[in-house]
C-alpha cells in the first residue's frame, strides 16, 4: 500500500514538472531614463530552455511613441504593437532583439511597456524591466552662473558688491568723523 502511494507521488511530481516547464524566457532591458522627444533603446533577450521551432515576440508600445529602429526588423501594427517572428536557424539561445522608441514631445510620468512571447504550445509575459522613466532634470539655483571655465561669475559679483558696500561705509564713517 505504501509502495503504491510512493509511486503515485513520484508520478505526480514528474508530470507537474513537465507541465510547469517553461521552454522560453524573454527578458527586457531599458537603456536609460529620457526626456520628452528623446530616444530610448530597448533590448529583448530570448533564452531557450528547450528546443522550440519558433517564437513570436510582441511588444505593446505606449500611445504617442514612435518606433525608430529595430534589429532584426520588427513588424509594426496599427494597434501600437510591434512583433518579431523568429524561427529556424535564426532562433538561437541568447538571441537579442533591439529596438528604439522616440518619446513624444511631452510626457510627464513613467511609461509602461508590456509584452508577451508565444510558441506553438506556450505563451508568457516578457520579464525584466518594464518602465521607461522620465529623466529628472536638476534645476540650477537662481542667480548662480558659471562661465566656460567653470568660474562662478555670480559669486564674484556678490563679493565685489560687498567690498564696494564696505568701502562706502568706511568712507561715510571717515567723513562723519572729519566733520566733528
Q: Which of 170, 174, 167, 103 is nearest to 134 (CA)?
A: 103
Phi, psi angle pair for 133, to nearest 5°: -95, 145
Please, are residues 108 and 133 in contact by the beta-carbon 8 Å criterion? no
Segment 104-109 shows an average pLDDT of 84
Q: Which of 24, 36, 25, 42 is nearest to 131 (CA)?
A: 42
Name all domains of the chain by residue range, CATH numbers in brackets. 23-132 (2.60.40.740)
Query: Which of 3-7, 138-142, 153-157 is predicted with the least confidence, judged by mean pLDDT?
Result: 3-7
pLDDT tens per residue across span 64-99: 999 999 999 999 999 999 999 999 999 999 999 999
pLDDT of residue 100: 97
Segment 37-64 shows an average pLDDT of 95
Q: How far apart are CA 95 and CA 92, in angstroms?
A: 6
Q: Which of 59, 56, 98 is nearest to 76 (CA)?
A: 59
Res. 17 pLDDT band, cuts 50 70 90: very low
Please, are residues 24 and 52 in contact by the beta-carbon 8 Å criterion? yes
Res. 136 pLDDT band, cuts 50 70 90: confident
Amino acid at each position: 500500500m505504501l509502495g503504491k502511494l510512493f509511486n503515485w507521488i513520484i508520478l505526480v511530481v514528474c508530470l507537474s514538472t513537465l507541465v510547469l516547464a517553461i521552454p522560453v524566457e524573454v527578458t527586457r532591458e531599458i537603456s536609460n531614463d529620457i526626456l520628452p522627444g528623446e530616444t530610448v533603446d530597448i533590448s529583448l533577450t530570448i533564452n531557450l530552455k528547450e528546443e522550440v521551432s519558433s517564437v513570436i515576440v510582441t511588444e505593446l508600445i505606449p500611445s504617442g511613441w514612435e518606433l525608430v529602429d529595430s534589429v532584426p526588423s520588427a513588424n509594426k501594427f496599427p494597434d501600437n504593437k510591434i512583433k518579431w517572428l523568429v524561427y529556424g536557424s535564426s532562433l538561437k539561445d541568447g538571441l537579442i532583439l533591439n529596438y528604439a522608441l522616440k518619446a513624444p514631445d511631452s510626457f510627464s510620468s513613467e511609461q509602461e511597456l508590456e509584452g508577451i512571447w508565444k510558441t506553438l504550445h506556450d505563451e508568457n509575459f516578457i520579464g525584466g524591466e518594464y518602465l521607461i522613466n522620465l529623466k529628472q532634470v536638476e534645476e540650477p539655483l537662481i542667480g548662480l552662473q558659471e562661465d566656460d571655465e567653470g568660474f562662478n561669475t555670480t559669486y564674484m559679483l556678490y563679493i565685489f558688491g560687498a567690498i564696494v558696500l564696505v568701502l562706502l561705509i568706511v568712507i561715510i564713517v571717515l567723513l562723519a568723523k572729519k566733520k566733528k
